Structures are given as C-alpha cells and as structure tokens.
Structure 1
Amino acid sequence: MALQLSRLYPSLRPFMAAMTLNIALLSMAQAAEPPIKVGLVAALSGQSAKSGEALTRGLTMAIDEVNAKGGVLGRPLALVRRDDESNPSKGMLAARELIQREKVAMLFGGLDTPVSLAIVPLANQLKVPFMGIWAAGTKITENGAADNYVFRVSAVDELVDEALVKYGVEQGMQKPGMILINNPWGESNEAGFKRALEHRGLANAGVERIQDSDLDVVPQLTRLKNAGADTLLLVGNVGPSAQVVKSLDRMGWDVPVVSHWGPAGGRFGELAGPNAGRVHFIQTYVFTEHNNAKGDALLTALKKAYPQIQSLADVTPAVGIANAYDALHLSALAMANAGSTEGKAIRDGFYGITQYDGLIKQYQQPFTAQKHDALGPDDYVMSHFVGDRIVPLKP
C-alpha cells in the first residue's frame, strides 16, 4: 500500500518512507520487549522431585499456549525455577531471590505446606501475588493478612478433611485413627479431621505422629489398633506414607486407609510395595483413557513436548500438572485484567476474572476479595494406585 501511494503521489515519498521506518522500528521494539518472568519455588530434588517436575510441566505447557497467542500485555512469559528442597528456610530465600533479583511478576509454589507458610508473609509484605498449586494447608490462603496476595488452585485441608471423612463414612468408617506427619501440615489436618468428625457425631481412636525419617511405624499403628480404630486417616508425603503401608503389611492388619494426596507426590507405588493400592486418596484431576477435549489436547501436547511420556503412568501425578496448568492460565487473565505487572494490579485482576474454561473445571468467578481458593470439595476425585498409575475409584 505504501509503495502504491508513493508511486501515485511522488511528493509523499519522504513521508511514506519515514512512516515505513517508524512501523519497522515499532515492530522491532515490540519484538524486543523483555519477557514477563514468573517464578516457581518447589521441591525439584529428593523424594518429591517427580511432583516438582509435574508442576514445571503444567506451568510450561500453559506458558507455551499463552505465548503462542501473543503472550500477556504484548510480552512473552518466562518461567524461572528454584529448588526449595522441601525446606522452609530455603524456600523463603528462594522466593526472596526470585522476587528481588529476578523481578518475577508472580510466584508459584510449591509442594510442602511448611514451605508455603514461610513464603506467605514475604509475598504479602512485598506485595507480589503468590499462587499455590499444591500445598493444601488452610492457613496458606486464610493467613489473616489485611492485604492478602496469596491465591490457590489446589486442595484445601479443611475441605479435604470433610471430603475424606464423608468418604470414610460411606465405606463404613465409625471410629477412625489418625496417623499424621509431624509438621504444620499434619496439625492443620488434625484440626480439620476433628471438626469433620465432631460434625458427624463420631469419636476418634487417637492421633499418632510420624516423621519423614521413620523407617517403621508399627508402634504408632499398634496403639491405634488397640484403641479400636476401624479406618486410618492418613496425612503424609510419599516416604512416610509408604512406611505406613509397609508397617501395616508387617503387622498383618488389613485396615482401610483414607488419605490426603501425599502418596501421589512421587514413587509411592514403588516405595510402598504391592499393597500401595490399599491407600485411597484425594486428587483434583486424573488423566484417563477418556478425558474431556482439553484433557486429551493437553495429554497429546505433553507427549510431544516430553518424549519420555509413553503411558498414563508417566503423567503421574497429574494433579500437579493440572493445578499448575489452570493456575497459570488464570494468572495470565489476571495480568491482562491488570494491564500491568504491578503486584497490586495483578492481585485485583484476579478478582476481575468472571469465567475460564479450565482443565479441572469451568471456573465461574474463581476469586473474590473474601475467597482466594478456586477449588472446593466438589472438585475432588478419590483415587488409588494400580501399579504405577493413579486411577480414579468408581463412585
């Protein structure tokens, strides 16, 4: 068009040349726009490394989709990761580095409730949105801050505890015993279980604690058995949960185990042995042979991006992929609503999301100033291990 005009009107040639140059310079400037960095703090090594990789994959697949459509605010997104080694102090230092040195617009994390609880005050103090995509401690989002920058697309302990007690009762549970990891995550669930049981008029057979380092928990289990426990309510990550199964095998105690989702976080099927499937646990999403259209499309894209994914067992834990995938897309919408990468604007941008057709569900007004958790008990799926695969239990 510019060439045709310059031929018809020679006097316009200098103007048209300048305009063409300006357009080219503008295009170059837009192409040179630096990426918007988003950070991930999670366990990328140790027993939970498989879960950290699932979070990475979910974020990466969503970022690729966002960038393919032009990014956010005309800029691509870029992921910067740090390994917290499941250590609260290291997690807080990693979060501070990502915020202050890497200048991330948003922070995503992570696997462990104690690590997330250590990061929460920092995120609120520095006014950088922190999106939880695994850790389920109720107090992560309900943290009491007058100016709360913490959101979550994941399970919530208090709601999970209600769902687990409901499921246990449906399976015939009358007097459960609790066996809980000895940290703030375990404490959070103890309170939630007791409220849920009290609401149903049920007593408990006692509360026993386990450590990440335990190699045998027969003494704790024996006390619960002697107290008349007819079901175990379990909260622990991969290692201690596997030791519970092994100890039950040594005792010969065939008791139902209803669990939070800790066993999904790594090599549980391998570590727990042939009876890993006896543990029934919560998930927010499970890939199967028959998913919705978005699930099938994402599974195809995952296999293309990660050739090591050969079967459904290779996308375990799907919950990490799904939570992170939906959370990133919701965060991109919040940034678009904000019109900037300033923390308060992004925070308020979350409140402006009216709907999003996600992988886990159709989100309708997922966040408000009073509600920073996007998922609830209707979004949970009871599952168990079959070999190395996580498989939904039939309703």
Structure 2
Amino acid sequence: MRTTSRFKMLPALIGAGVFALMTAAQADEPIKIGHVAALSGASAQSGEAITRGLQVAIDEINAAGGLLGGRTIELIQRDDESKPPRGLIAARELIFNEKVAAFFGGIDSPVGLAIVPLANQNETPFIAVWAAATGITRNGADPNFVFRVSAIDALVDVKLLGYANTKFGATKVGLMLINNPWGESNEKGLAAADETNDAVEIVGVETFENGDVDMTPQLTRLKDAGAEAIILVTNTPPGAQMMKSRERMGWTVPVVSHWGIAGGRFPELAGPTAPDAHFVQTYSFFGEQGPVGEKLIAALAAKYDDVDGPGDIMAPVGTANAYDAMHLLALAIEQAGSTDGDAIRQALEDLATPYEGLIKTYDKPFSAENHDALGPEDYIMVHYEGDEVVPTE
C-alpha cells in the first residue's frame, strides 16, 4: 500500500518540480523592452540620442537589482527609417516576435500615429519620447495604452506663438509647415492658440514636402503678407533648406521652430544662419544641473567615447525624455508586479511613488484622462551656438 501510494504521489511531485523549475526560469528571464525609431537616415542622430537615454536608465535599474525580484531589463531595437509602414512592421515584430512588455517610440509623428492603433489593439504600452502630434496620446481609445514623456503639439503651439511675440515683438506670423500629419496637427494647434492670443495674428499658412530644396515662393508669399516671424514645423533636412531659402532672399525674419530641427545635423546643413532658428525643448544640459543632471552627464561620458560634456550630448531632448520615461516605466512594472500590458497601463495611470527625474519631479504624471507627463511649464526655448544647443531664455 505504501509503495502504491508513493507511485501515486510521483506525478504530483514531478509536476510540482517542473512548475518550480519553470517559475525559477521565468524569474531569470530578462524583461524585454522595445524601441522603434529612426536608427538610420537623416534622423539617426535622434534615434541614437533616445537609445542612449534609455540605455543609461536601464543600466541604472539593472545595477540596482532589476525589477520583479531581480529580473534585468533588455532593450530590443528596430529601425523605422522614418517611414510609417516600416514603423508598423517594426512594432509588430516587437509585440509578436519579441513579446516585449512595453515599447518606446521615436521621432516622427506619422510613424507614431501609425503605431497607435496596433498598441491599443494588442494592449501593449507604447511610450512616445519625441513625436509630438496631439493625436498620439489623445487618440480616443478606451482604455488607452499610449503614453508620452515629450511635448504635445497642442501645448507647444501656445508656447511658439507667445515666444514670437514676447521675444521678437512679432504681431503677425507666417506658418511654414511640413505637409504630413504632424504639420496638420500643428496647423490646427496654432490656429487654436491664435484664437486665445490677441497679441499675435497668423497672416499666412504655407506647406512644403520633405524633399523640397527651394522654399522661396512660400516665403515670398509670407513676406508679402507682412509676416514678422516664421513659425516652422518640420524635421532637419527640409528645415535646413528653408533656412537656406530665407538666406538667399536676404530676409532676416526671426524663425521660431518646433523641435524637429534638433533631430539631426541642422547646423551643418543649414549653414551660418542656423543660430537664427529658436526652437523648443524639454531640457538643456547647459547651465547649473541638479543631482540627476550631473549623474546623467557623467554616465554618458563614461559610457560613450564621443561625450566629454554637455556640448557633446546629441539631440538632448531625446536623451532627456527617454531617460525619464524609462524610469517611469520601471516604476509602473514594479508597482504592477507583472509584465502584463494592462497591469502596466493601470499602474502608469496611478503611479504611487513620485520620481525625482531629470526634467522635473513626477508626482502622478499620468491619469486615466491625461497620458502626457509634460506640460508648457516644462518647455524651454533654445538655439544652436555652433553644434551646441543653448537656452535663449
């Protein structure tokens, strides 16, 4: 009888042992976090900046013991080539093949907007750390799995119009917008901002394509309309071409830009008038730094041979946003006690622990109604001095 009982117990003991081994193996598996961004082409510098911000934060988290009882974080990247179809393929690979717990999105708003439905349909948290199109986070989904630690067009546009007036005394502005969903987002946002700002009037709206090399006709129309400042919304290559067209015209009108021109080799491509373009950022590594800023600059210098100080930190907004966003995601995973997408979403919407970040101290930065962690009070204006991004206010 005892022998029979022992044989009857054997399957249960084997099953318990297998379960324990599986649980232990799972506990040793890294937590996969994805990143989709332009890692090649004209915006590759921005993609690298985001990569560096994420990786330094991951190094810190892993060095402190990882998450969920000792699991390390592994960053898995895919190149979207600044193309929405490629970005969608990359996001699918991360979700379905790599089984990432969450993923970050990079630079281009059209790419981000293309990925949003996929993230929501598959309940995988998607955190934007550069792209600013309003519809990325305000996408109508319920529940919404898309978050952002970056600027949002609806609020940046208020900043740009106000800055044109207070910094340059402009009462009439012309808009130069890239002809894509990001440009459309900002046209709506700037029109809304204009309605609430009695000091500034939009006197013309012009658009251009990504490959345009001569924007003299558009600028001439804005000049004839009486524009006293240009509001520019585009990325680096066409932004540089606009500056060259302005220079050829001999028109010294101030340029107030969204931050897309910080995403590549703008000083080199635009030439001597590059400093004339003032643009928005969420952080500057110049000036007095807090403890987190000092720590991050030192970590970047130790990890990357091409960084000796603040002036060497490429596309700083990408580094700063990504660094803070990774730490916020880590807090959410720990609070959720799980890598389940919906559990992480709920934790992000109600983070219990404040995070003393690089850009600011985040105290419940998200809610069910608001998935944008940064607001106008977190924006600053900068311009290039040589290759360095320096505050102007």
- TM-score w.r.t. structure 2 length? 0.92
SS of 2:206's partner is strand
Partners of 1:133 and 1:153 within 8 A in 2: yes
Distance 1:65 1:159 in 2: 32
The corresponding residue for 2:41 is 46
Distance 1:31 1:227 in 2: 65
Match of 1:76, as an amino acid?
T
The corresponding residue for 2:134 is 138
Partners of 1:137 and 1:188 within 8 A in 2: yes
Distance 2:363 2:66 in 1: 23
Q: Tell me how far 1:31 sits from its aligned partner.
A: 9.9
Partners of 1:44 and 1:84 within 8 A in 2: yes
Q: Tell me how far 1:310 sits from its aligned partner.
A: 2.8
SS of 2:107's partner is coil
The corresponding residue for 2:389 is 390
Residue 175 of structure 2 corresponds to residue 178 of structure 1: yes
Q: Unaligned 5+ residue runs, structure 1?
A: 1-21
Distance 1:198 1:229 in 2: 17
The corresponding residue for 2:378 is 379
Residue 191 of structure 2 corresponds to residue 194 of structure 1: yes
Distance 2:305 2:106 in 1: 25
The corresponding residue for 2:264 is 266
CA offsets 1:106-135 (integer angstroms, 9 cap, x no match): 010010000000000000000000000000
Q: Tell me how far 1:216 sits from its aligned partner.
A: 1.1
Distance 1:147 1:42 in 2: 25
For residue 245 of structure 1, the aligned residue among 243, 268, 271 is 243
Match of 1:391, as an amino acid?
V
Match of 1:59, as an amino acid?
L
The corresponding residue for 1:366 is 365
Distance 2:326 2:309 in 1: 25
Match of 2:374, as an amino acid?
L
Distance 2:276 2:350 in 1: 43
Residue 131 of structure 2 corresponds to residue 128 of structure 1: no
For residue 292 of structure 2, the aligned residue among 284, 287, 294 is 294
The corresponding residue for 2:79 is 83
Partners of 1:233 and 1:258 within 8 A in 2: yes
- TM-score w.r.t. structure 1 length? 0.91
The corresponding residue for 1:68 is 63
Q: Tell me how far 1:316 sits from its aligned partner.
A: 2.4
SS of 1:275's partner is helix
Distance 1:219 1:42 in 2: 33
Match of 2:368, as an amino acid?
A
SS of 1:288's partner is coil
Distance 1:135 1:72 in 2: 28
After the TM superposition, which residues 197-346 of structure 1 pair with which residues of structure 2 at under 5 Å, given as runs? 197-201=194-198, 202-346=200-344
The two structures, once aligned, show a CA RMSD in angstroms of 1.6
Match of 1:44, as an amino acid?
L
Distance 1:223 1:53 in 2: 37
Distance 1:72 1:351 in 2: 19
CA offsets 1:223-260 (integer angstroms, 9 cap, x no match): 10011111100000001111111111100001011110
CA offsets 1:259-307 (integer angstroms, 9 cap, x no match): 1001111110111101100001000011115311110111011011001
Q: Tell me how far 1:313 sits from its aligned partner.
A: 2.7
CA offsets 1:190-226 (integer angstroms, 9 cap, x no match): 0111111111234312110111101111111001001
How many percent of aligned residue pairs carry the same amino acid? Answer: 57
The corresponding residue for 1:9 is none
Match of 1:67, as an amino acid?
N
The corresponding residue for 1:56 is 51
The corresponding residue for 1:17 is none
Partners of 1:42 and 1:84 within 8 A in 2: yes
Partners of 2:349 and 2:371 within 8 A in 1: no
Partners of 1:337 and 1:352 within 8 A in 2: no
Distance 2:171 2:314 in 1: 32
Q: Tell me how far 1:146 sits from its aligned partner.
A: 1.7
CA offsets 1:6-36 (integer angstroms, 9 cap, x no match): xxxxxxxxxxxxxxxx9xx99x947971100
SS of 1:384's partner is strand
Structure 1: which 4+ aligned runs deviate by more than 3 Å? 28-32
The corresponding residue for 1:11 is none
SS of 1:47's partner is coil
Equivalenced residue count is 370
Distance 2:315 2:384 in 1: 11
Partners of 2:297 and 2:309 within 8 A in 1: no
SS of 2:230's partner is strand
CA offsets 1:114-162 (integer angstroms, 9 cap, x no match): 0000000000000000000000000000001122000000000000000
Partners of 1:40 and 1:110 within 8 A in 2: yes
